[in-house]
Amino acid sequence: MSESQGELFAKAVGQGRSRHIYTVSQITQDIKLVLESTLGEVWVEGEVSGFGKIATGTAFFTLKDNASLLKCVIFYSHARNIKFELKDGLEVICFGRVSVYEKAGQYQLYVEQIEPKGIGSQQLALEQLKAKLEKEGLFSPEHKRPLPYLPSRIGIVTSAQGAAIRDILKVVERRFCDVHIIISPAQVQGEGAKEEITRAINDLNLFNAELPLSERIEVMIVGRGGGSIEDLWAFNEEIVARAIYNSKIPVISAVGHERDWTIADLVSDVRAPTPSVAAELVVPKKEDLKKRLDELKDDLSRTLLEISLRFQEDIDDLAYRLDLAAGHILELVSSDFQSAARKLMLLNPSLLLAQYRARTADLARQIYVRIGHYLKLKQAGFSGLLEKLSSLSPLNILGRGYSITFVMPQGAVIKEAQALNPGDTIKTRLHKGEVLSRVTEIEKSGAD
C-alpha cells in the first residue's frame, strides 16, 4: 500500500487529530483505486449463478463458492469470443480485474476470459452443441437418406486447392470416369470457413433446384483432409450442421481422417472416414460392376432354367389333371345329355304339333256347327221381320188397287185436292208403273 493510501486509511479510522470529511463519491473512488492497484488482474474460480444477458450483449452473473459471492460482468467485446454456452451451475475459471461499480458502490469482477473448469472451452462448446442438436433430432436415423447407386452427377464442397478434391477426383477417374462432378469451392478452415461451407452447400441446392430431374445432382460430398482439431473446427459449427441437415441433396461427410469425428459427421446422411473413402462409397469400380453384372447374368440363367424345369413339371401335372378332369366332365355331360334327350323327346314339337292339329280340327268343326246354327237362328228372325215389313209396305197396299199421287216437280205426296191448282202436273204411282197427268179441274170435297 502506498503512503497516500496509508494516510487515507489513517484519516478514515480517526488516527489523525484533524477532522476530514469525505463525500460518498470520494470514498468510492478511493476504494476503487485501492482494489485496482492492489489486486490488479486475477484468475477466479467458482460456480456460475444468476446468469443473464441484456440487448447489447453484455452478460451479468455471480461466481459463488461455499462461503461467498462475487458479482461479475462481461462486456460483449469479450463475451463474443466465448465458444461455449454460459449457464447456471457451470464450474468456470474467470480472468479479469476487480473494480468498483461506482453508481451502486459495489465491487465486481470485470471478466475478459472464461474457461470451463476441468475441460477445454472448445470441447465444452462441442458437447453443448451436440446435446442441443441431438435434442432437436438432427442426428435422428429416421432423417438419414440412402445413397443413390452409381449416381451420374456428384456435388463436392471442399477447398479447390486442398488434397481432398485431388483424392476424390483421382478415385472417381480410376473407378468410373463417366461420372459428372460439380464443385462448389469453399474455405475449410480459419476465420469465415463456417460461412463459406454453409454458402457452398446452399449454392449446390439452389443450383440443383433449377435443373431438370434428369440432370440433377444425386449426392453431395462435404469435407476436407486431415488436420488438428482447430483446423477441422468449421465442421463443428452449428451453421454448417443445419445447412447439411436442410440439404435436399443426400450428404456424405468426409472430414479429416478415420479417427476424426465432427458434428458434420453426425448430421450427414453417411459418414466417410476420408474424402477418398467417400468417393469410393458413391462410385463403384467399373470392373466390380462388370463382375457383378456377370454374376447376376449367371444367377438369372440358373433361375430361368430352374423356372423352366419347374414350369415343364407343372405343365405335365396340369395336363394329367386336365385329362382326368376332361374324362370326368365328359361322363357328367353325357349323362346330362341323355337326360335332356329324354326330356326333349317328351317335348318333341312334332308330337305336340299333331296334338295341336287334332285339337284345332275339332275346334274348327265345333265352330262350323255353332256358326251354322247361329246363322239359321238369325235367318229365321230375319224372315219374320221381312214378313212384318212386307205387310206394312205401301207397295203391298198399291197391289190391292190403291195409288199414290205426287205434285211435280216437288214430288210431295198429295193428300187433298185443295193442295192442287189447275195446270199442275201430277204423277200417280200404281202397283205397276206410273202415270203423269195435268190438272184441268179441281172438285172440292163435300165435307167442305
User: For 205-242, what is each residue's pLDDT tens digit?
Assistant: 999 999 999 899 999 999 999 888 888 999 999 999 99
Domain that holds residue 246: 141-284
- The string of DSSP codes covering 302-341 is HHHHHHHHHHHHHHHHHHHHHHHHHHHHHHHHHHHHHHHH
Q: Taking all residues of the chain, what is their mean pLDDT, rounded to a whole number?
A: 85
Confidence of residue 112 (pLDDT cuts 50, 70, 90): very high
3-state secondary structure at position 400: coil
pLDDT band with cut points at 50, 70 and 90 for residue 6: very low
| 185 in the same domain as 116 | no
The predicted pLDDT at position 111 comes to: 93
**Residue 134, CA atoms < 13 Å, CB-side half-sphere:** 9
In angstroms, rounded to a whole number, what is the distance separating the alpha carbons of residues 322 and 303? 27
Confidence of residue 395 (pLDDT cuts 50, 70, 90): low
Task: Specify the higher pLDDT residue, 438 or 347.
Answer: 438
Name the least confident of 50-59, 304-313, 439-448: 439-448
Q: Is residue 385 part of a domain?
A: no
Q: Are residues 68 and 157 in the same domain?
A: no
Domain contains 154: yes
End-to-end Cα separation, the chain, in angstroms: 195
Are 389 and 404 within 8 A, CB to CB? no
pLDDT attached to residue 218: 95
Q: What's the chain's length in residues?
A: 448
Q: Which helix (H) or strand (E) holds 223?
A: strand 219-224
Q: Are residues 184 and 86 in the same domain?
A: no
Query: Are 116 and 145 members of one domain?
Result: no
Mean pLDDT value of segment 106-127: 81
Contact (CB, 8 A) for 189 and 262: no
Instruction: Say if 62 falls within a structural domain.
Output: yes
The stretch 70-93 carries a mean pLDDT of: 88
Q: Look up residue 26 and give its three cell numbers.
A: 470520494
Same structural domain, 90 and 40 = yes
One domain, residues 152 and 236: yes
The CATH number linked to 280 is 3.40.50.2300
Determine the pLDDT at residue 306.
85
52 in any annotated domain:
yes
Residue-level pLDDT at 56? 92
Q: Above pLDDT 90, what percent of the chain?
A: 35
- Whether 1 shows a pLDDT value over 70: the answer reads no
CB contact set of 217 (below 8 Å; sequence gap of 6+)? 151, 153, 154, 155, 182, 204, 207, 208, 211, 249
Residues 123 and 177 placed together within one structural domain of the fold: no
Sequence-separated (6 or more) residues with CB below 8 Å from residue 35: 98, 99, 100, 107
Pair 121, 8 in one domain: yes
C-alpha cell at 310: 419347374
Q: Band of the pLDDT at 73, cuts 50, 70, 90?
A: very high
pLDDT at 150: 85
Decide: 12 and 1 in contact? Cβ < 8 Å.
no
